[in-house]
Structure 1
Amino acid sequence: MSDRPAPTGALLRATAPDRLPEATADHLRRHFAAERVEVLVADLALRRLAPLLDTAGAELDPAALRCLASQRPSTGSGPTGTRLHLPLSCWGERLGVLRVDLPRHPDPEQAEQLRSVADELAVAIRAADRMTDRYRQAQCLQRLTMAAELQWDLLPGRSLGDDRFLLAGQLEPAYDIKGDHFDWALASDRLTITVLNGAGEGLDAALLTVTAVNAMRNARRCGADIVEQAELASDALHTRYGGGLHAATLLLEIDLVGGWVDAVDAGSPHCMVGRGGEISQIRLEQQLPLGMFGEARYEIERFRLEPGDRLLVVSDGVHAAAPRGGPTFGESALFTALRGTRLQPATEAVGTVMRDLREFHADAEPEDDAVTVCLDWRR
C-alpha cells in the first residue's frame, strides 16, 4: 500500500451514483497499487458477468463465476502478479464480483481491507440502482419485454440472508416474463414470502401482478397478517378485472425463532420441504385464487420447520411444465432435481432447478414462465 486507505464508504457516498466503479478503481490503484480493476455485475439469469469498466461484453471468467456462486474470495495468478476475486453482495443479494490485479500477494491486513472495499461497493451499488440505469443496463444482455421490465422492477431482489436463514428466488425466462413473481420482506423475527402466478399474457399479466403485489405490500406495511394481505389483494383484483383475471398465490409467514409457518394457499404454487435427504410436499388446502370472486375470505394453515430444513416453492411453470404433452416436470424430474441440490446453498439451488427445467424442455419452447424460491432455515 502506498498510504493508509481512506474510508471507502465515505468516498462512495460522496461519488455520483453512476461513477462508483471508477471511484473504486481509482481508490484501489492509489492505496493498494492495483494494476487493473474490473467490476463485474451478474446478468439477470445469474449465468454471465458483465464488466462495468472495460465494457467489451459479457465475460465467462470461470474464477469470477465460481466466486459469485460460492460467495468466497479467491486468489490466483494474474497477468503480472496476483489476481483476486471478491464477491459483491449486500444482505445476501449477489450482485457480482470485484476483480483486482495486484503486483504481489496481499498480506492478511490488506486482504481484509480489500474485502471491506468490496462490501462497501456492493452496498453502494445496491443503493444507487434506483438513481442510474448503468447497472441495470449491464445486467441485461438483451432487451427486456415491457412485461419483464415491470416484473424486474417489482422484485425485492434475488437473495436475502443473515445468520438465521438464506433465501433466494429466480425467474425464467429472464427477458420475457409474463405474470409469475415472488416477493419477500423481513421484519424482526418474521419473514413473509409470496409466490404468485398471474393469469394472462404479456403486459396484461404483468399489470395484474403489479396490482396484486402492491396490494399485498400495502396491507403488510400497515401491519396486516397474510389473511388480510390476501383479502385486500383479492378485492383489488376483483374490482379491477371483475373476476376475468386472477392470481394464484401462496403466502407464507415464517417465525424465524420457532420455525412455525403460517400459510394461505390461494392457488397453484407448490410448497415442499427438504429434510435430511428427503423431499416432501406440504399438503395445503387450496383456496380461491386472488380476484376470482368478490369479498373472498381466506384462512391460515400451519406447519413447522426444523433446524436445517429447506423450504421450496415453485410456480406451475415449474411443476406443471409438460413439453410436447409428455409427463410434467413435477411428476418426473422435479424431486430428482431438488435432491441433487441438497448440498448447494439456496442461492445456487434455484439456478440448478431452473437449469434442469430448461434441459427438461430440450428444444421445446416453454409455454409458461417459472419461479423457484428456496429458503434454508439455519436457526
Structure 2
Amino acid sequence: MPTACESISVIPEGGRLLPRCVMVVDDSRLQRRILSALLNRWGYCVEEAESAPQALEKCSINPPDIVISDWMMPQMNGLEFCRAFRRMQRDTYGYFILLTSKSQSLEVVQGLDAGADDFLTKPVNGDELRARLNAGERVLSMEKELVDKNALLTSTLQELQTLYDSLDSDLTEARKLQQSLVRERFRDFGGSQISLLLRPSGHVGGDLVGFFPINAHRIAAFAIDVAGHGVASALMTARLAGFLSSTSPDQNVALFESEYGIYDAHPPEEVAAQLNALMLTELETETYFTLLLADIDLVSGDVRLVQAGHPYPAVQRADGSVEFLGRGGHPVGLFPEARFEPVVTRLAPGDRLFISSDGVTECESPDGKMLDTDGLVDLLGRNRSLRGPDFMESLVWDLARFGGEQEFSDDVSAVLFEFNAPKCNVD
C-alpha cells in the first residue's frame, strides 16, 4: 500500500470519492500504526506525525483532507493543535477528528469550540472509525461541490461583469448618440423662439423632441414618446427622427416639394395617419408611440396640431392664464383605422405653447401623488418670467424637487414655443 500522499489517486468506493490524504497525529507509535493499517486497508493515503508541531509543519507543506489527532499529547495537546490547524490558510476544508478518552459533555463542547468536527473514543473501534470517515467524506464532498459551484459562479459573475461593463459603455455612447438626435436645443426666429428638453430616465429612453422648418414663415414642432424604455425604444426614436428630419427634407414624411420647388407640409393629422400606416405595415414592430405634432405660423401665430395619445399641450397666455388643447386621440401604431383629428388655436404676442411628455405630468412625489395638469399649471405660473433654456432648466429643478430625487423614473422631454411678435421680412 502507498503511504505517500502525492502518489495515491482519488479512489471511488460506493459512488463516493475518498479523500486523498489522512493525517494521523499521536505521540503513541503503536496507536499510529494501528490507525494507519486500517486506513491503508481502506485505500486512504496516510501521513503520520508524532507531535502537533510536526503535524503543523507537514500540514503547511501538504494539507491533508482529514486529520485524526489524539487529545492528550506533550508540547501541544489536541485542542491547541486543532485551533492552530484552523488558523492555517488553505483552499479546501480539513475535517478534524479528535481522539479522546473523555466522554463528558463539557469536553465535547471544548473540542467543538476548538474547531473539531467529530470525536472518537479510545480504544478505537474499526467500524466506528469507518463511520466517522464516511461522515467526513460526505462533508468534504459537499464542500468540494460548493467550492466548485462558487468558482463557477465567480467565473460567471466575472464574465457578466465584463459584459455589463461593455454594455454600460455602449449604452453611455448610445445615450450620447440619442442626445445628438436633438441637434438644436434652442433657436430664435426673430420674434419667436423654440426650446427643447430631452432627459432620458436611464442610459437611453423612448422620448424624442424636435422641430424643423417648413418654409420661410412656418415651422413644425414635435414630441414623441415610444412605449417602454431601453434600447428597443431608443432604436425606434432614432428611426422616427429620420422620418421627421430637419436636415434631410426629402426624407421627412411631413414635407413635400411643390411644383414651384418650395417645400410645404402635410397637415399634422395626415402625417400622424401616414406614420400609423408605416408602423403597422412597413416597420413590422409591436412598438407604438404617442405623438404631438404642431404646424406653427411664425407670422400669424396660428397653430394646427394633432394629439395622438400624447399629454395635452398647454397654452400659457400673456396674462399668465393656462389652457389645455386637444382631445387625447389614439397612439400611433396600434389601430389600422385610427382617425386623427386636428386642433387649431392662435397665439397672440406674449403667448407660449408648452408640449411635454407624461414624464412631466406623471412625475410622482415621495408620497405617490402625481404632478398632473394642476401641478403643471402651477409650474408654468411659477416660472412665468423665465424664458427659453432658463425655463427648461427651472422645470427640471422643480420636477426633481417635487419628486424628491434627481433621477426621474420616466423620461422627461418638452418643447416650449414662445410667440413674442410676428416674424418680419418674410420672403
Q: Which range, TM-score by smaller chain?
A: 0.5 to 0.7
In the alignment, is the contact (CA less than 8 A) between 2:201 and 2:412 conserved in 1?
A: no
Give the Cα–Cα distance (whole angstroms) in 2 for the partners of residues 299 and 331 of structure 1: 22
Give the Cα–Cα distance (whole angstroms) in 1 for the partners of residues 298 and 358 of structure 2: 27
Structure 2 unaligned residues grouped into runs of 5+: 1-168, 246-251, 257-263, 422-427
**C-alpha deviation, 1:143, in angstroms:** 8.4
- SS class of match (2:269): helix
Q: Residues 237 and 287 (structure 1 numbering): CA distance in 2 closer, same or farther, change over 3 Å?
A: same
Q: Deviations over 1:263-295 (max 9, x none)?
A: 110012331111134242323112211111235
Tell me the number of residue pairs that the alignment of Structure 1 and Structure 2 aligns: 238
Match of 1:311 among 353, 358, 363: 353
Give the Cα–Cα distance (whole angstroms) in 2 for the partners of residues 183 and 353 of structure 1: 18
Q: Residues 357 and 239 (structure 1 numbering): CA distance in 2 closer, same or farther, change over 3 Å?
A: same
Task: State the match for 1:272 in structure 2.
Answer: 314
Structure of larger gyration radius: 2
Give the Cα–Cα distance (whole angstroms) in 2 for the partners of residues 208 and 295 of structure 1: 22
Q: Deviations over 1:307-363 (max 9, x none)?
A: 110111111000111245622122563222211221111221011111111111113
**C-alpha deviation, 1:146, in angstroms:** 5.0
Match of 1:183 among 200, 204, 210: 210
Match of 1:256 among 298, 305, 327: 298
Q: Residues 279 and 237 (structure 1 numbering): CA distance in 2 closer, same or farther, change over 3 Å?
A: farther
Match of 1:207 among 235, 238, 242: 235
In the alignment, is the contact (CA less than 8 A) between 1:266 and 1:290 conserved in 2?
A: yes
In the alignment, is the contact (CA less than 8 A) between 2:224 and 2:290 conserved in 1?
A: yes
Give the Cα–Cα distance (whole angstroms) in 2 for the partners of residues 374 and 227 of structure 1: 21
**C-alpha deviation, 1:252, in angstroms:** 0.3
Match of 1:172 among 195, 199, 202: 199
In the alignment, is the contact (CA less than 8 A) between 2:201 and 2:410 conserved in 1?
A: no
Q: Residues 269 and 212 (structure 1 numbering): CA distance in 2 closer, same or farther, change over 3 Å?
A: farther
In the alignment, is the contact (CA less than 8 A) between 1:252 and 1:262 conserved in 2?
A: yes
Match of 1:361 among 395, 398, 403: 403
Give the Cα–Cα distance (whole angstroms) in 2 for the partners of residues 235 and 279 of structure 1: 38
Give the Cα–Cα distance (whole angstroms) in 1 for the partners of residues 355 and 271 of structure 2: 19
Task: State the match for 2:143 in structure 1.
Answer: none
Aligned runs of 1:20-35 on 2, under 5 Å?
none
Aligned runs of 1:312-351 on 2, under 5 Å?
312-324=354-366, 326-331=368-373, 333-351=375-393
Task: State the match for 2:3 in structure 1.
Answer: none
What is the TM-score when the length of structure 2 is the normalising length? 0.51
Q: Residues 251 and 325 (structure 1 numbering): CA distance in 2 closer, same or farther, change over 3 Å?
A: farther
1:163 aligns to 2:190 (yes or no): yes
Aligned runs of 1:72-151 on 2, under 5 Å?
145=172, 147-151=174-178
What is the TM-score when the length of structure 1 is the normalising length? 0.58
What letter corresponds to residue 204 of structure 1 in structure 2? Answer: A
Give the Cα–Cα distance (whole angstroms) in 2 for the partners of residues 215 and 147 of structure 1: 19
1:221 aligns to 2:255 (yes or no): yes
Give the Cα–Cα distance (whole angstroms) in 2 for the partners of residues 292 and 250 of structure 1: 16
Task: State the match for 2:329 in structure 1.
Answer: 287
**C-alpha deviation, 1:169, in angstroms:** 0.9
What letter corresponds to residue 255 of structure 2 in structure 1? Answer: R
What letter corresponds to residue 208 of structure 2 in structure 1? Answer: H
Moved more, 264-273 or 248-257: 264-273
Moved more, 339-348 or 232-241: 232-241
Q: Residues 324 and 193 (structure 1 numbering): CA distance in 2 closer, same or farther, change over 3 Å?
A: same
**C-alpha deviation, 1:371, in angstroms:** 0.7
Q: Residues 216 and 364 (structure 1 numbering): CA distance in 2 closer, same or farther, change over 3 Å?
A: closer
Structure 1 unaligned residues grouped into runs of 5+: 1-141
Match of 2:341 among 299, 315, 336: 299
Give the Cα–Cα distance (whole angstroms) in 1 for the partners of residues 289 and 228 of structure 2: 9
In the alignment, is the contact (CA less than 8 A) between 1:194 and 1:249 conserved in 2?
A: yes
Give the Cα–Cα distance (whole angstroms) in 2 for the partners of residues 219 and 332 of structure 1: 35
